[in-house]
Chain A
Amino acid sequence: MKAEQISVFLENKAGRLCEVTGVLAEAQVNIRALALADTSDFGVLRLIVDDTEKAKGALKKAGFTVGKTNVLAVEVPDRPGGLHDILNLLQSSGINVEYMYAFVQQSGSNAVMIFRFDNTDNALKVMQANGLRVIDGKTLYGM
């Protein structure tokens, strides 16, 4: 049920992000979602793409440092308090969210959020036990 995310190390300087998107365009990889975390010196770009291995290979070949992590794509009811209910559940189950960001496409009438947990397996169990819909990787990449 997990989804794969690739992460790329970037120095904080002009044009770097553009180079990443350029490499992916060249490799015919479609970006499904993305989030950037940065400090004053460097940033970490996280991406969900339609073909993880292809993207990783192309970026590595272009000289980038690339990592791969498991994340969960979770359906969030598109209404006030929808996200809060999920975070509340995680909080009471003692699960930490390392970071999260929104997926571009909706799943039916629900929004989709990408979550990175300190313990992904635990988080998955809690989600499923509480009837939350976790979208598996294959479905996600093709959405």
Chain B
Amino acid sequence: MIYDIEYETMPREALEAIQFRRLKATIDRGYASVPFYRKQFEAAGITPGAIQSLKDLQKLPFTTKQDLRDNYPFGMFAVPMENVVRIHASSGTTGQPTVVGYTARDVDTWACLMARSLMAGGATRGDMIHNAYGYGLFTGGLGAHYGAEKLGASVIPVSGGNTKRQVVIMKDFGPTILTATPSYALHLAEVADEMGVSFRDLKFKYGIFGAEPWSESMRGDIEEKLGLVAVDIYGLSEVIGPGVAMECYEAKKGLHIFEDHFIPEIIDPETGEVLPYGETGELVFTSITKEAFPVIRYRTRDITSLNPEPCICGRTMVRMNKVSGRSDDMLIIRGVNVFPSQIESVLMEMQNVEPHYQLVVDREGSLDILTVMVEVSESMFSDEVKTLQTMEKEITKNIKDYLGVSAKVKLVEPKVIARSQGKAVRVIDNRKI
């Protein structure tokens, strides 16, 4: 079923006319009200008047995560704070998370996009949605929540964690739709199994999973263990949150990008050159309806390709393939974004600890396990085992406090961490995704 049949099935020409009108408005407003964009445009020698077609978007400079950090906290906002009704932020360490804002209209736009997404994923009015995305600064929980209410479904705002209680709720309330990260969905199934509850006997029909990369084989695994149809959702807080693109349950083959709100481009991450449909590169988004936090050519660092072929579901919007990797060193651990540099600053802030470290990521069962190997330098070494163990615990706690992710800290001998061409190998990802 299609939530917004007029827009989601719009012929290409009509869609492009709307896109161009909205793009012009976004660029005019970004230039007028965000000093960063004005400076960017001026440095590139471009005025908003130079944008005469959709293709002219390519003339504009990119926006990066670093740009957002440089303008922490509210420098990228395009409206006065009295018009902002919601603030979200991505994980950050002591320094700079990325902060995003929403006007009342943005919140409504987002709710509509999530309603579209939920319906594309099989949900409808009368469904009960078990929403296990985290509520809080993370956009996942509230994003799905507002979409569910907009759709008219019943939503259980269970959030993440407290897994046994979740299983009891699933058994007693009988929700029909599960929204969660794919790894947490599998974890739920494992815990249910330990509790003697058969997931397949629950009432779930569809599961809408996202916020971390997952493979086709993981989809098969989830569908088998949970007894539901698993579909993929994509989004990032910088663009709006979840609901930027959504797979339809009919095809389960790529995610429809809601192009009446976001213009996607695929670029070569090295040269910045725009690549044609079908070619793999870095995904770039320009928001064309957002008021509080417009982004112009925002580099997501996600690697994928676009597929313009018509889809059996009837939607005319282009599909992005499953994200296959990153063009930076960001890791997603159980749905939490982790940059090695964040771990580094946690270590740097500790007395005696030197930032010689390596991150090893494994998947045990369905959960991501992050191990932080820290080289023992002379300044942190002690002949007493308990001092070293205290240090391990302290590092673990600081990582948890700053990044919100549980890690196993392991002290290692110096020079154990492989250094290639003088540069330490910071990340070893053993997950087979």
Contact = CB atoms under 8 A, between A and B. Distances in A.
- DSSP class of B's interface residues: helix, strand, loop or mixed? loop
A31 to B, nearest CB: 16
B411 A42 contact: yes
Interface string B388-411: 110000000000000000000011
B413 A65 contact: yes
- DSSP class of A's interface residues: helix, strand, loop or mixed? strand
Interface string B373-386: 00011100111110
Interface stretch (A4-12, A21-29, A82-90): A4-12
Interface residues of A, number: 22
Interface bin, chain B: 10 to 19
A7 B381 contact: yes
Contacts of A66: 378, 381
B385 A37 contact: yes
B377 A39 contact: no
B25 interface: no
B414 interface: yes
Contact of A11 (B382, B384, B416): B416
Nearest to B412: A11
B383 A65 contact: no
Contact of A99 (B376, B381, B384, B415): B384
A63 B414 CA distance: 7
Given A9-B376, A39-B389, A63 B413 contact: yes
24 contacts: A7-B381, A7-B382, A9-B381, A11-B416, A16-B413, A39-B389, A42-B410, A42-B411, A44-B383, A44-B385, A44-B388, A63-B414, A63-B415, A64-B413, A64-B414, A65-B381, A65-B413, A65-B414, A66-B378, A66-B381, A67-B378, A67-B381, A69-B383, A98-B384
Given A7-B383, A63-B415, 10 more contacts: A7-B381, A7-B382, A11-B416, A39-B385, A41-B410, A44-B384, A44-B385, A44-B388, A66-B381, A67-B378
